[in-house]
Amino acid sequence: MSVPRSVSPLPSDPESVTSPRLDRRTLFGLAAGGSAALTLGRSLTPTRSAAAADTSSRAWRTWILKSADELRPDAPGDPAQSEIDEILALQASRSYGNLNSVSQWGTHAAVVPWAKMGIAAAGDAKLSGIRDMRVQAILRAAMYDAVLAAHDAQAAYPRRAPALADSKVTPNVTTATRSEFSFPSIHATVAGAASTVLEALFPDASAGYFADMAQEAGESRIMAGESFRSDVAAGLDLGRAVGSRAVDYANADGSDAKWDGSGRLTGDGYWQPTPPANVKDPVEPIANTWARWFLPGADALRPTIPPEYGSLGWQAELDAVRRIVSARTLAQERIIDRWLQAGPHGMFLSTATDYISSAGMDEAQAAQVVGLMGIATMDALIGVWDAKYKWWTARPVTEDPTINTYFQTPAYPSYPSGFSAVVGASASVLAQTFPESSVEFLAMATQGAAQRCWSGIHYILDDDVGLQMGCTAGRMAFEKGLQDMAG
């Protein structure tokens, strides 16, 4: 696999979920008016200066490491004069290429360009929906722990940043966040962790690609006047150590287990290979056994049983798909295309990035928001996959081959929708973090879920149930975030 140098998200096709007890209109009302969301949401928005937040985040619980200080590096000495001279020389000879690198890696929080790269790599590798979500969750958890580890070291060893150590150094004005301390470099630590995870999870990528990107990210901080070379070296080393722990987690998460074919339901109303690919075996029937981040059990989100095959409720769902697909508009097709192109992760990461920047979140807060979206979507999909292979519901096109599907139907059961769960989980995390914009996030999720039925690959019930499951997972993930912050 050759991973493109661009960090722009590529198309991906994960599925999603929602719960049957609330329809979209009710869900909207709760999101817009729920006092609990308003109270919890403000807990994650920044109320301190970046320097103060950097110090306090040392007490936050990590997700993969035992604690933020588990891998704390040795104390550094004073920066060498040659390191100061290097920064001054780079600033005296700034080129377009240097400035572009500084902007690429520093305009947003350190985790953002790597999260985009993870989405791009999964799209390039054509991972299945739940495999894609697994990658994003592990990558983002590693980056979150890397930020906390870097903050711990900065608080333990308060080495002054270059601009504070030497008045001749001018820090780059486009940097999204700036700390008083620089050892180790947060960007380099995140880069070391992310590149290590991506190299392990995408072994077919171009040799050295992710390592080169990590080195470039670290070097950009020297060009920006934000870090000394020794800060970057220490950050890369610390990040790689964090990334190695995340790779150990990935190797033990159960995702390498093979299905033995047991438990398959056959007959009328049950899943069958769908055209045009007619894949014999469905995708990941035992994904509900994979490691979870916060769900107490794979069935914790399990919805009610879908309508019985041949019943009035079942017929109503099938007829609704027929009507919707036959009346599909150009506007709806454009919406479908937009979601296909960006994918649910890409769409919500872009939105989250804008809100993180506008709120002035520090590196730890940004890493937490992006990370919570990752683990929420992963656990939501574990719940979806549990339900999919509990009932093995056939796709609409199986019941009526004349349905004009907009794209190829994914090779797994219909109920509930995984894509809808992913958008629901992401929207729920953002709605609680930025409650004043909760209606916007839930509107995005509702559209993302609805376009699956417009495409002809899901029943409306699949989308509604998947959406609620995702929203529930998002609330659970957010609650975990609050508990983590409490240490």
CA 5 vs. chain centroid, Å, equals 20
Helix (H, G, I), strand (E, B) or coil at 181: strand
| 447 burial level (CB within 10 Å; 0-12, 13-18, 19+) | middle
- Does residue 273 have a cis bond before it (omega within 30 degrees)? no
Tell which CATH classification among 3.10.20.30, 1.10.606.20, 3.40.30.10, 3.90.1150.10 matches the domain 24-41+262-485.
Answer: 1.10.606.20
Q: What digits encode the pLDDT tens for the residues 91-127? A: 888 776 677 888 889 889 999 999 999 999 999 999 9
- pLDDT score of 61: 95
Domain boundaries for CATH 1.10.606.20 within the chain = 24-41+262-485, 49-251
Q: What digits encode the pLDDT tens for the residues 345-386? A: 999 999 999 999 999 999 999 999 999 999 999 999 999 999
- pLDDT score of 174: 55
What CA–CA distances, in Å, run from 154 to 158, 179, 181, 257, 418?
5, 9, 6, 40, 40
Mean pLDDT for 316-340 is 98
Mean pLDDT for 56-76 is 92
> With contact defined as beta carbons under 8 Å apart, do 146 and 189 qualify?
yes
Buried/exposed 426-443: b ≥16 CB within 10 Å, e otherwise = bbbbbbbbbbebbebbbe
- Cα 175 from Cα 228, distance rounded (Å): 16
- pLDDT score of 4: 32
Task: Region of 161 please: left (phi>0), alpha (psi -120 to 50) or beta.
Answer: beta
The residue with greater pLDDT, 306 or 52, is 306
- pLDDT score of 169: 84
Q: What digits encode the pLDDT tens for the residues 407-433? A: 999 999 999 999 999 999 999 999 999
- pLDDT score of 173: 55
- Cα 139 from Cα 375, distance rounded (Å): 10
Tokens of 313: 């409720």
| Average pLDDT for the chain | 88
Q: Name residue 445's amino acid.
A: A
Q: Which residues contact 446 (CB under 8 A, 6 or more apart)?
A: 24, 27, 28, 467
Instruction: Please tell me which of 16-25, 172-181, 266-275 the model is most confident about, judged by mean pLDDT.
Output: 266-275
Whole-prediction pTM:
0.88
Q: What digits encode the pLDDT tens for the residues 441-482? A: 999 999 999 999 999 999 999 999 999 999 999 999 999 999
What percentage of the chain has pLDDT greater than the value 90? 78
Q: Which residues contact 471 (CB under 8 A, 6 or more apart)?
A: 18, 19, 27, 424, 425, 427, 428, 445
- pLDDT score of 21: 35
Helix (H, G, I), strand (E, B) or coil at 207: coil
Tokens of 81: 């004069």
- pLDDT score of 190: 98
- pLDDT score of 27: 39
Q: What digits encode the pLDDT tens for the residues 21-63? A: 334 433 333 333 333 333 333 344 443 334 444 446 768 999 9
- pLDDT score of 138: 98
Residue 310 has pLDDT above 50, yes or no: yes
Phi, psi of 331, deg, nearest 5: -60, -40
The residue with greater pLDDT, 95 or 404, is 404
Q: Which CATH architecture has domain 49-251?
A: Orthogonal Bundle (1.10)
